[in-house]
Amino acid sequence: MNTAVRQASSAVTAVIPARGGSKGIPGKNVTPIGGVPLITRAVRACLAAEHVTRTVVTTDDPVIAEAARAAGAEVVDRPAELAADRSSSESALLHALDTLEERHGEPVGVLVFVQCTSPFITTEEVDETVLAITRDGADSAFTAVPFHGFVWRTEPDGAPAGHSADGVNHDKAVRQRRQDRHPEYLETGTVYAMRAEGFREHGHRFFGRTQLVPTAPERAIEIDEPGDLDRARALAPLLDAAELPGRADVDAVVLDFDGTQTDDRVWVDETGREMVAAHRGDGMGIARLRKAGIPVFILSSETNPVVAARANKLKVEVVHGVETKDVELAKWFRGAGIDPDRIVYVGNDVNDLPCFELVGWPVAVGDAHRAVRERARIVTSAHGGHGAVREIAEWILGKEL
């Protein structure tokens, strides 16, 4: 395809490289953060971007490919020789460009390179990086965060303790105030954009006039090692908090019982009879969900007949006394013909985690086990048995219910 034709194109294509051979975190690119796999997070951000016309994942891994297609992305099969440990991202991007231009018979005007190892990517970051090219006239652009740290180094590398350290971005003899220092920025590694023709010519993501796009420092996390994964999961309930499910997102709500609709305590009398306390606000929330036409299903491993009694009072379907809750959940939504991506599942303990993997909206109550909160897409403000279900009903139906 000749240069003139390429330059005439205005198509903006986002390409997300995601190979399957991660050593530090096996299966990293499909690992969930806040209940959503990394690859899915990146795809969703690109699909929602106003200025991106095509979203593509290039991968050598069938599991990643399946997740990418399920999220709505087009897939390019990445050759094994371009997916080795030492393979560059640029080689994968060039292969994807060739494949896409041949597949669609049209050139790519602007290439957007997105790394799915940045879990807190936003649609706004993607759009602003594209606009740096299409609106502001830059040749290449990237996301960056403001940096005010003092950088030091020792010479030579590996010098023993006691070797003098020297300032890299400052004179160590002059301690400037933060407000007196020239602004500096750290590359986030999240989004890059470039004119596709220039990228082909230079073979690198930075060329010509390069423009940086400032982004929020708290979102600048890259998943490279297990510790990064732990930090991202801990931050997800805070950074994803604005994304609450509304009526347009939800077709069903599935609730655990103990610790979710109760405070996880039990009263036992001298005969061995057990009693629990439920929250009337939760009952109101469930009633309003049902009135709005949203099925509610209680799924519990608890054998106590109080579970069935509570479900009967609330007039909702129930299965309890089961060990494999995920198997029962899958059976239920398949039988009902409900898309699992449109299900809110609410839990509090580790036996809920397999169910979290099946649904689009895994939710933890405020006092859930740490592992559950870390893998939830959202965490309620209220604790289990203290109005958490009512809170979720308000997300979906509005505070006026």
Beta carbons of 377 and 35 less than 8 angstroms apart = yes
In Å, what is the CA distance from 318 to each residue of 286, 296, 297, 328?
13, 9, 6, 11
Looking at 189, 208, 239, the residue that finishes a domain is 239
What pLDDT shows up at residue 400?
66
Do 234 and 253 lie in one domain? The reply is no
Question: Tokens at residue 140, please?
Answer: 């290449």
Per-residue pLDDT tens listing for the chain (401 residues): 333 333 334 589 999 999 997 777 888 999 988 888 999 999 999 999 999 999 999 999 999 999 999 999 999 999 988 888 888 999 999 999 999 999 999 999 999 999 999 999 999 999 999 999 999 999 999 999 988 888 888 876 655 566 778 888 888 888 888 777 778 899 999 999 999 999 999 999 999 999 999 999 999 999 988 899 989 988 887 887 667 899 999 999 999 999 999 998 988 888 888 888 999 999 999 999 999 999 999 999 988 889 999 999 999 999 999 989 999 999 999 999 999 999 999 999 999 999 999 999 999 999 999 889 888 888 898 999 999 999 999 999 987 67
What pLDDT shows up at residue 4?
34
Do 26 and 65 lie in one domain? The reply is yes
What pLDDT shows up at residue 173?
82
The strand pairing partners of 343, in sequence order, are 252
Do 60 and 200 lie in one domain? The reply is yes
Question: Tokens at residue 196, please?
Answer: 């596709």
Task: Identify the CATH number of the domain in which residue 360 sits.
Answer: 3.40.50.1000
Q: Could you tell me where the beta strands, DSSP code E, fall in 35-178?
A: 36-37, 54-59, 74-77, 110-114, 140-147, 152-154, 165-167
Looking at 214, 239, 264, the residue that finishes a domain is 239
What pLDDT shows up at residue 151?
87
Return the SS3 of 228: helix
Do 206 and 325 lie in one domain? The reply is no
Do 195 and 309 lie in one domain? The reply is no
What pLDDT shows up at residue 10?
53
Beta carbons of 306 and 276 less than 8 angstroms apart = yes
d(CA 248, CA 289): 13
Looking at 206, 239, 272, the residue that finishes a domain is 239
Return the SS3 of 365: coil
Do 73 and 204 lie in one domain? The reply is yes
Q: At what angle do helices 62-71 and 38-47 cross, to 10 degrees?
A: 40
d(CA 90, CA 84): 13
d(CA 333, CA 340): 7
**Residue 295: what are its φ and ψ, rounded to 5°?**
-60, 140
CA-only gyration radius of the chain, Å: 25
What pLDDT shows up at residue 251?
97
Do 63 and 122 lie in one domain? The reply is yes
Task: Identify the CATH number of the domain in which residue 161 sits.
Answer: 3.90.550.10
Beta carbons of 302 and 318 less than 8 angstroms apart = no
d(CA 398, CA 228): 35
Do 273 and 224 lie in one domain? The reply is no
Domain that holds residue 59: 3-239
Do 176 and 251 lie in one domain? The reply is no
Provide the pairing of β-strand 267-268 with 274-275.
Answer: antiparallel
d(CA 296, CA 314): 10
Do 224 and 263 lie in one domain? The reply is no
**What long-range pairs does 389-392 form, CB within 8 A, spacing at least 24?**
389/255, 389/260, 389/261, 389/279, 389/281, 389/282, 389/285, 389/286, 389/346, 390/279, 390/281, 390/282, 390/284, 390/285, 391/285, 392/253, 392/285, 392/344, 392/346, 392/363
Q: At which residue do the structure tokens 């290449």 appear? A: 140
Number of domains making up the chain = 2
**pTM over cut 0.75:** no
DSSP for residue 326: H
Do 209 and 85 lie in one domain? The reply is yes
Return the SS3 of 19: coil
Do 52 and 179 lie in one domain? The reply is yes
Which burial class, exposed, middle or buried, applies to 138 when counting CB atoms under 10 A from its CB (0-12, 13-18, 19+)?
Answer: buried
